[in-house]
Chains A and B, each alone.
Chain A
């Protein structure tokens, strides 16, 4: 597939940019934060997004989605990144729907995907256990007991946990930490006895949860995919999730950069605009180069998902590592080049660095993905 947008994609990008700037921009994020909104996003705005089909944008038409593929979803995520739009796009649409598509039986897909595509059902993945993304190190356990499984363990960084109706909990039915074999995925409804969900507030003002599973009993029909065989589907889902997050980071970085360049053209010191100083010009030009590189790898990686390319893992780690690097530099430079005003809560630029770091960390940061990139390259 050529690395350009087709007409349908260009229109989608335009529509998303307009809608999100008006309904889910930085001003709305600030309001959600300052009003102490529990779920961290507006249900009304999410309802409108679902009406436009975004909740099912990458879900195949046979399951009630739009079937625009991940390139389509990536374009919306890029605009969500630009506007710092808080919504379940990442937790439910990008991650959970993908994992259900990868692992679910025909019946489970028919039951869950149309409900997600309509925007009614919010599902989220419960995977991480320690302070870092380390999916194979999962120790949460699931033990078969007749027709049921009993789950024990704890989970962190569960995106949009307080508004999710269903969790996809990754737990071991076999194997040891580090093994691919033995990981299983379970559908656990919020409110199931033994499951507690604590809301945690992160720097980006979005909501994540800490889950404790204490002898949670669920039917064996809650198993998503074959017992002990969740890894291939989970791994591919994580690759797609990281490519989606890279798209979000691209939009976020581009917006932070453009706001910074605009500021360089208006702020005066020593009797002239600071953007005329070569010390700042070269840093801005280097950052421009990095953003262009980031844009290319994100588009290539999104196409790799839709084309079903075999080296998706390499693409995903390349895209995520690069965009972590770009986002870190773009947001750090944004604060520095804005000077004192960039340090104030009143000015919006601070919101960008906060969301950037959380998105960078989610499902593996720069260090995780650069290490994986090297391993996948054989060294």
Chain B
């Protein structure tokens, strides 16, 4: 038996034994993900159990090195693990910004000491992280951020305000962009620091969105101490790390453009019906849905192509620059079509007859996809300048 085949059998047996039955169902949306932390939000007691069991094997981050809390698995074994989890519908044990965003940045830019300090706690779900990027006057123009970090010897004193900080009210630590120097161009003098959200001087205020949920906060810093041992990379060179991290964030958000299980065309057939030729009875809506489904299919083909090119050692091609822009625009189209296809059923705000208002709230939330993580307009600027080589205005 090959090594991989043996790994598959052992993995299958272990998952059968250790994955609680309650964790063999998909999460019911974002709010049902387990993100860990000092005071984890728990919808079901098995969430923490499942996370702890997986973390003990390094399987919350199977591709990370063992010394940082991972399992040091190669691509093939990671794939097998995912397949075996999918086989029994096992949900992800831990979804956090620590895993998807800070972790990759620390692996790339952190010192050995910093990696050993922070990565294992991320892997075990002990510390939940949030991202301090946008400010009231630094949105699309992120590099104009002004949160001040004053040098006080072994630490910085931080003063300023962040906004759109996802789950800041639930996070334990923050990775934060601060200005350590004002003298050069706006891209210089930005530093990437980590500090504890429980530090004196940190306050958070959730922002209620048009969708009714409050995933984002305003975050205020009033003389907050951040130790220099938690400065990542060089002082003043944080912009490179910020950009690296943004590409991870954009990849995550562009995943929203993937094809959903039930097609909009099928949903519309159920509410509107078809004519004698089998065509959706409303020809105008039919065309709009067909265009959306065609674009979803070709977007899927593009994700597959870029993946195959990367596997073949051709690097991440220019096509990847369109992912964030196109994926989020597709998701917005999908949500508008949900409304068009479901009609009154999609307009409910709460109540069982409207499935708790899931459709309308998702629709409203989707409007933010093309704003957060770099607006569609900023993405088009990037394509125009970096890919097509068009000059600055």
- Given the known inter-chain contacts A377-B263, A379-B280, please indicate yes or no for A322 contacting B289, CB distance below 8 A: no
B137 / chain A contacts, CB cutoff of 8 Å: none
Q: Are the C-beta atoms of A261 and B377 separated by less than 8 Å?
A: no
Cα–Cα distance between A289 and B330 once the two chains are bound (Å):
13
A293 on interface, CB distance cutoff 8 Å? yes
Q: Are the C-beta atoms of A375 and B309 separated by less than 8 Å?
A: no
Q: Are the C-beta atoms of A296 and B319 separated by less than 8 Å?
A: yes
B305 on interface, CB distance cutoff 8 Å? yes
A51 on interface, CB distance cutoff 8 Å? no
A331-371 vs B: 1/0 string, CB under 8 Å?
00000000000000000000000000000000000000011
B280 / chain A contacts, CB cutoff of 8 Å: 374, 379
A318 on interface, CB distance cutoff 8 Å? yes
The residue in B280, B294, B311, B318 that gathers the most chain A C-beta atoms within 10 A of its C-beta is: B294
Cα–Cα distance between A295 and B319 once the two chains are bound (Å):
10
Least CB separation from B268: chain A residue: A379
Closest Cβ of chain B to A329, distance in Å, is 13
B393 / chain A contacts, CB cutoff of 8 Å: 272, 276-278
Q: Are the C-beta atoms of B304 and A379 separated by less than 8 Å?
A: no
Q: Using a Cβ–Cβ cut-off of 8 Å, how many residues does chain B contribute to the interface with A?
A: 49
Cα–Cα distance between A296 and B295 once the two chains are bound (Å):
11
The residue in B297, B299, B301, B325 that gathers the most chain A C-beta atoms within 10 A of its C-beta is: B301
Closest Cβ of chain B to A305, distance in Å, is 15
A299 on interface, CB distance cutoff 8 Å? yes
B298 on interface, CB distance cutoff 8 Å? yes
Cα–Cα distance between A379 and B377 once the two chains are bound (Å):
34
Given contacts A318-B298, A374-B293, 5 further A-B contacts (CB under 8 A): A281-B385, A282-B380, A295-B302, A300-B301, A379-B280
CB contact between A292 and one of B294, B311, B322, B381 (< 8 Å): that residue? B322
- Given the known inter-chain contacts A4-B309, A299-B305, please indicate yes or no for A379 contacting B325, CB distance below 8 A: no
The residue in A3, A277, A278, A286 that gathers the most chain B C-beta atoms within 10 A of its C-beta is: A3
- Given the known inter-chain contacts A377-B265, A379-B268, please indicate yes or no for A322 contacting B294, CB distance below 8 A: yes
Cα–Cα distance between A281 and B280 once the two chains are bound (Å):
38
A378 / chain B contacts, CB cutoff of 8 Å: 265-266, 269, 278
A300 / chain B contacts, CB cutoff of 8 Å: 301, 304-305
Q: Are the C-beta atoms of A284 and B326 separated by less than 8 Å?
A: no
Chain B residues with a Cβ under 8 A of chain A: 263, 265-266, 268-269, 274, 277-280, 286-287, 289-291, 293-295, 297-299, 301-302, 304-305, 308-309, 311-312, 314, 318-319, 322, 325-326, 377, 379-381, 383-385, 387-393
Q: Are the C-beta atoms of B269 and A379 separated by less than 8 Å?
A: yes
Least CB separation from A323: chain B residue: B298
Least CB separation from B318: chain A residue: A292
Q: List 8 A-B contacts (CB under 8 A).
A: A4-B308, A288-B383, A289-B325, A300-B301, A370-B290, A374-B290, A375-B277, A379-B280
A127 on interface, CB distance cutoff 8 Å? no
B263 / chain A contacts, CB cutoff of 8 Å: 377, 379
Q: Are the C-beta atoms of A375 and B278 separated by less than 8 Å?
A: yes
Closest Cβ of chain B to A276, distance in Å, is 5
Cα–Cα distance between A371 and B309 once the two chains are bound (Å):
32
Cα–Cα distance between A15 and B364 once the two chains are bound (Å):
51
Cα–Cα distance between A272 and B266 once the two chains are bound (Å):
51
Closest Cβ of chain B to A90, distance in Å, is 23
A294 / chain B contacts, CB cutoff of 8 Å: 298
- Given the known inter-chain contacts A265-B389, A322-B298, A370-B294, please indicate yes or no for A296 contacting B304, CB distance below 8 A: yes
Q: Are the C-beta atoms of A281 and B390 separated by less than 8 Å?
A: yes
Cα–Cα distance between A371 and B388 once the two chains are bound (Å):
34
Cα–Cα distance between A370 and B288 once the two chains are bound (Å):
10
Q: Are the C-beta atoms of B298 and A293 separated by less than 8 Å?
A: yes
Cα–Cα distance between A300 and B393 once the two chains are bound (Å):
38
Least CB separation from B299: chain A residue: A293
- Given the known inter-chain contacts A293-B298, A379-B289, please indicate yes or no for A281 contacting B381, CB distance below 8 A: yes
Q: Are the C-beta atoms of A379 and B380 separated by less than 8 Å?
A: no
A212-243 vs B: 1/0 string, CB under 8 Å?
00000000000000000000000000000000
Q: Are the C-beta atoms of A285 and B388 separated by less than 8 Å?
A: yes
A373 on interface, CB distance cutoff 8 Å? yes
Closest Cβ of chain B to A262, distance in Å, is 10
